[in-house]
A and B are shown apart, each in its own frame.
Chain A
Amino acid sequence: MTADPFAPHALHPTAGVAAATTDLSKVYGSGDTQVTALDRVSIAFREGEFTAIMGPSGCGKSTLMHCAAGLDAPSSGSVRIGTTELNTLNDRQLTELRRDRIGFIFQAFNLLPTLTALENITLPLTIAGRKPDQQWLDRVISMVGLSQRLGHRPAQLSGGQQQRVAVARALASRPAIIFGDEPTGNLDSRAGAEVLGFLRDSVHELGQTVVMVTHDPVAAGYADRVVFLSDGRLADEMTYPTPDRVLDRMKAFDGRSRTS
């Protein structure tokens, strides 16, 4: 890939913070059945950085992402996206924040079956009532290689293609941050590698910020930084990871099942 004028901040560790949590806790249930999913987690996601959140099943990595993305309300602590404190927002403002400043990629693709690929990609913009920036849209679509498939419905696309549509949808509105929840969980390794490549390209070439939850060391290897969660706490952090180093670190979470 060639150098890109749209990505001036690529790999600048001192860049601004896209999102951050402070003393974030999430407790489910009460009394005997009380489960602490997150325990005072403070973490910052820098702009233009690709972060992977890892950890064994039940470590709270999904909960962390849900809270950071404004999908779930924390029990205590705070989350901010850019300079916006989420706990000061009502449901409507939160919805608008998700619409305008956050992109999502889900494990199960979650495209609307009645809309075409293009309509799915521009859906967040349509909801916001905004005109897409055509130049940007073209770039995104050509990057994920969907130019020939825009009129297709999700049912007519393969799993990998569907997830590429989802990636394009997340990128379309140029959000401040994109959250991915096991984005390769439903894909075979080749399609998974493609999607991860696109995510990395979007960070390095387009200057996007991406946070991805995964339990796959190979997927984590695409990230700039990996944070490890264990029992709801921040356990470790690794920059410039490789799959082997991540796997070694994961093995250190002894005795726990890593299957999900």
Chain B
Amino acid sequence: MLRTALRNVLAHKARLVMTVLAVCLGVAFVSGTLVFADSSAAAYRAAATRNFAGVAVTVSAKEPPPGTAAANEPTSVLDDALVRKLADVPGVAAVRPAVDGVATLNAADGTPLRADKAWAHPAGAYVPGKDGKDSRYPLVKGRAPADSGELAVDSGTAAAGHFRIGDKVTLATDGPVMTKQLVGIVTTKDSRVTAGGTLALFDKATAQQLFATPGHYTDIDLAATPGTSQFELAKRVTAVLPADRAEATTGSAQATQQATNIDMQTRGYKKLPMVFAGVALFIGSFLIVNTFTMLITRRTREIALLRAIGATRRQVVRSVLWEALLVGLAASAAGFVLGLGVASVLPDILGTSSDPLPRGPLVIGMRPVAAALGVGVGVTVLAAWLPSRRAAKVAPIEAMRSAEQPPSAARSRIRTVAGLALLVLGAGLLISLTGAKDASEANLQRAMFGCAVLVAAMIVLAPALAGPVIRLTGRLTRRFGLTGRLAQQNALRDPRRTAATAATLMISTALVAGLAVLGNSTGQALDQQATAGLGADYVIGTRTPTLTIDPAAAQRVTDTPGVRTATAVADTNVTIGGMARSISGVDPATVKDVMKLDLTSGSLADLGPGRIAVSSTVAREIGVRAGGKTNASMGFGPDRGFKQYTVVAVYQDNPIANDVLGARTEVQQHSFKPGSVQRILVRTDKGTVSKATEDRLRTAVGNNPLLQVQDRKAIVREKAGSMGDLLTLMYGLLGIGVVISALGIVNTLAMSVAERTREIGVLRAIGMDRAGIRRMIRLEAVTVAAFGTLLGLAGGLFSAWAVGSLANGAMKGYSLALPWGTLLLICLLSLAIGALAAALPARRAAALSPLEAVAES
């Protein structure tokens, strides 16, 4: 039977191409995403390891045990004396002292570079070795910084910031803005920089001033002589180090640590492709099953002939399985190669220009290979098995009489009943969730299960739904006259095939529509939440919690044209009612201008030293009302005492006001940097929000790249940071769904054009022109696509509504908000895909000669 199978495969090249394409694409997506995941993990690890390539041991300072060191004594022992001492340790080949810190740069146009990635702004000292060069930072242009007015950056930063040698560059490390002249451009292997960060280099003295204390280093890297192990060297170095004040770590340990850190930071990138792979696998399986079902149906006659001349059922099935195996193997191989292509372009698609993924060679592990074979061969053989069994069951003579085998009514009835049962189960589960109060793990699992069951129900019910839905869309297609009517009826001719073809589009539409609705609703809720309590038009804040705003800047902001009120806010901790909470120090006179506070009792005008206001939650938890008294302790550190405060007001919970409000004059004394402020809330004249205003505000705070000036929209965007991932996911899924669906539609149409050769010939013979034939096929494709889209939309919207009630319990202000634009886009895209997918089959159909009608019999 193997030979028959092989002959069969080769005899029907056109069919072969389609099946192979279907399998190939499914395999490509799965293996591609897996290879990508492996490769990017390897690239991160390589970047991390490369970073410590020449480092055998690193000596770093240790925090002195509390209470042992006097406050003013320099804590670091990493000075030049230690460097000389380390150089004498046997086995040390080279000593490279380093001064590492963080610096954020402004691009030439004054906007902060890569400001959203706090970990990606390494800065350090250019420490020349014996040859006058720092081997870690090879210069590509200019020279090394030599005094406190000079700076070098890496080439990527220079390009991103549009810097040229000689430019003045503004930057900040932890406080005020500095301006330095760019004198050199270097390259680096630091993975934080190669992954998209910025690097700023100063001369040694300046770096020490900024990041350590004069004459001290933050780390000292040691290279080992050949034959000395890292571990051995670390032991020897530890022996000469002052215990308690410095420690030695091997390079490999640091590399491992860094790889782990980066892995954690970038885990999201890997989750995403896996989701894509899963969806691609699921939808791809449909395509494969569908294609094979059609192939076998087409061959019913042939199989019947084999049966008639004496082949047993088993032989027939086996022959088909062999064929599937061969096709599966070939297509999997091709798909895997295609998958490597997918893997190599995924970094471009997933990474953005401001957040690129690291590059590295493709890593081909066992997992993608196994997955490719499993998906390609496994699914193909399975897909072939079911229809081949059905075909083998057909009585030979019956199959030879007519090629078309309408599915038995009993089978459709069973299918419909099963589908309805699933529908009731899925919808019931989802509806039961609408009463849920919270997004607990159990509820989420029920929601996922409910959605899965619902999707299964839709797939099973699709053939039964095809009739009514397509008759509905037929009202539109009928406007195209005869071609529209024929298209509609052709789509209805085999509801199961139509349903199977539309299934891929249905699933992806359901997924995407559901995500879009959830995303939009969540976004709106976040939107409301983030700005609900905000009366100000702008918020000036710091990028990292350890930074503060110079109180003088608040005055400059107030004096900025267009600003009506600017209130500095000091944020710190307060322990109240036995719990650490956050307190905001405000100016009682202006607080009402910049915060929308909903007072339940008391008056904010009474705020002052010793007098605080609390949120309703805090009031409830500690059992206090306006006019009551409570003990609290403001600030950080162990040596603060509790003090009695009078509660002058209680306000509804407000994310802008935090848990407790106090007078700024008092609160800012308890800041981690006493006297500092953390936020400036700005109210503009007439609430104007414009780029010009923003620029003026930025100027008022000295264009400090460490400070951010955000309007309401920007605040919402920041809060909704994770929504960006959701969007990527959504469009990725839509893309996969659309590509696979398009292929499915091409497949189905090509098949039905082949089946209807004679009909098309008749239409041509009795006078339909080529354009009419093309329109007919295109409309059929659009009908199928519309069917899938409508069903998917219905399922997606229903699920989003049900799952949304979970979010309703978990998130304040959540309500179902339909993203009409996105939904419309999904619909249009699906229809366009239908029309596009029809192009090839339509052309083939139009090219058919009218003679086919008479010639083929």
- A: which residues have CB within 8 A of B? 62, 66, 71-72, 91-92, 95-96, 98-100, 103-104, 106-108, 110-115, 123-124, 126-129, 169, 181
Contacts of A127 in B (CB 8 A): 482, 763, 766-768, 772
Question: Chain A's nearest CB lies how many Å from the CB of B478?
Answer: 12
Q: Which of B762-785 contact A (CB under 8 A)?
A: 762-770, 772
Cross-interface CB contact of A112 among B759, B851, B854, cutoff 8 Å: B759
A163-B492 Cα distance, complex, nearest whole Å: 25
Contacts of B770 in A (CB 8 A): 91-92, 95
B769 touches A104 (CB 8 A): no
Cross-interface CB contact of A108 among B489, B764, B772, B857, cutoff 8 Å: B857
Question: Chain A's nearest CB lies how many Å from the CB of B405?
Answer: 13
Task: Decide yes or no whether B758 CB sits under 8 A from chain A.
Answer: yes
Task: Decide yes or no whether B529 CB sits under 8 A from chain A.
Answer: no
Task: Decide yes or no whether B687 CB sits under 8 A from chain A.
Answer: no
Residue of A at shortest CB range from B771?
A92
Question: Chain A's nearest CB lies how many Å from the CB of B109?
Answer: 60
Task: Decide yes or no whether B83 CB sits under 8 A from chain A.
Answer: no
Residue of B481, B758, B763, B769 most packed against chain A (CB within 10 A): B769
Q: A110-B759, A127-B772 are contacts. A104–B766 as well, Cβ < 8 Å?
A: yes
A-B complex: 5 closest residue pairs judged by Cβ atoms: A99-B767, A114-B489, A110-B762, A95-B769, A124-B766
A115 touches B489 (CB 8 A): yes
Question: Chain B's nearest CB lies how many Å from the CB of A138?
Answer: 21
Q: A112-B759, A114-B489, A126-B482 are contacts. A98–B766 as well, Cβ < 8 Å?
A: yes
Q: A95-B767, A99-B767, A124-B766 are contacts. A114–B490 as well, Cβ < 8 Å?
A: yes
B854 touches A99 (CB 8 A): no
Residue of A at shortest CB range from B768?
A127
Contacts of B486 in A (CB 8 A): 112, 114-115
Contacts of A100 in B (CB 8 A): 767
Question: Chain A's nearest CB lies how many Å from the CB of B494?
Answer: 11
Question: Chain B's nearest CB lies how many Å from the CB of A56?
Answer: 19
Residue of B492, B763, B768 most packed against chain A (CB within 10 A): B768
Q: Would you give 7 A-B contacts (Cβ < 8 Å), ordered by A?
A: A66-B851, A66-B854, A72-B849, A106-B853, A110-B758, A111-B762, A112-B763
A181 touches B767 (CB 8 A): no
Cross-interface CB contact of A107 among B759, B850, B854, cutoff 8 Å: B854
Cross-interface CB contact of B767 among A72, A110, A128, cutoff 8 Å: A128
Question: Chain A's nearest CB lies how many Å from the CB of B484?
Answer: 12
Residue of A at shortest CB range from B857?
A108
Residue of A103, A107, A111, A126 most packed against chain B (CB within 10 A): A126
Contacts of B133 in A (CB 8 A): none
Residue of B at shortest CB range from A169?
B766
A198-B768 Cα distance, complex, nearest whole Å: 26
B765 touches A98 (CB 8 A): yes
A59-B630 Cα distance, complex, nearest whole Å: 114
Contacts of A112 in B (CB 8 A): 486, 759, 762-763
Question: Chain A's nearest CB lies how many Å from the CB of B844?
Answer: 16
Contacts of B857 in A (CB 8 A): 107-108
Task: Decide yes or no whether B493 CB sits under 8 A from chain A.
Answer: yes
Q: Which of B271-317 contact A (CB under 8 A)?
A: none
Residue of A107, A111, A127, A128 most packed against chain B (CB within 10 A): A127
A106 touches B762 (CB 8 A): yes
A123-B772 Cα distance, complex, nearest whole Å: 13
A124 touches B767 (CB 8 A): yes
A72-B768 Cα distance, complex, nearest whole Å: 16
Contacts of B481 in A (CB 8 A): 126, 129
Contacts of B492 in A (CB 8 A): 114
Contacts of A103 in B (CB 8 A): 766
B854 touches A92 (CB 8 A): no
A123-B759 Cα distance, complex, nearest whole Å: 13
A129-B765 Cα distance, complex, nearest whole Å: 16
A112-B767 Cα distance, complex, nearest whole Å: 14
B493 touches A114 (CB 8 A): yes
Contacts of A71 in B (CB 8 A): 765, 849-851, 854
Contacts of A114 in B (CB 8 A): 486, 489-490, 492-493
B765 touches A104 (CB 8 A): yes
Residue of B at shortest CB range from A106?
B854
Question: Chain B's nearest CB lies how many Å from the CB of A1?
Answer: 27
Q: A104-B765, A128-B767 are contacts. A98–B758 as well, Cβ < 8 Å?
A: no
B393-406: CB near A (< 8 Å → 1, else 0) gives 00000000000000
Contacts of A129 in B (CB 8 A): 481
Question: Chain B's nearest CB lies how many Å from the CB of A211?
Answer: 14
Residue of B at shortest CB range from A125?
B767
A108-B856 Cα distance, complex, nearest whole Å: 10
Contacts of B493 in A (CB 8 A): 113-114
B747-766: CB near A (< 8 Å → 1, else 0) gives 00000000000110111111
A95 touches B851 (CB 8 A): no
Given contacts A107-B857, A110-B854, 15 further A-B contacts (CB under 8 A): A62-B854, A66-B851, A92-B770, A95-B768, A95-B769, A98-B766, A103-B766, A106-B853, A108-B857, A110-B758, A112-B763, A127-B763, A127-B767, A169-B766, A181-B854
Contacts of A107 in B (CB 8 A): 854, 857
Contacts of A128 in B (CB 8 A): 767
Q: Which of B830-857 contact A (CB under 8 A)?
A: 849-851, 853-854, 857
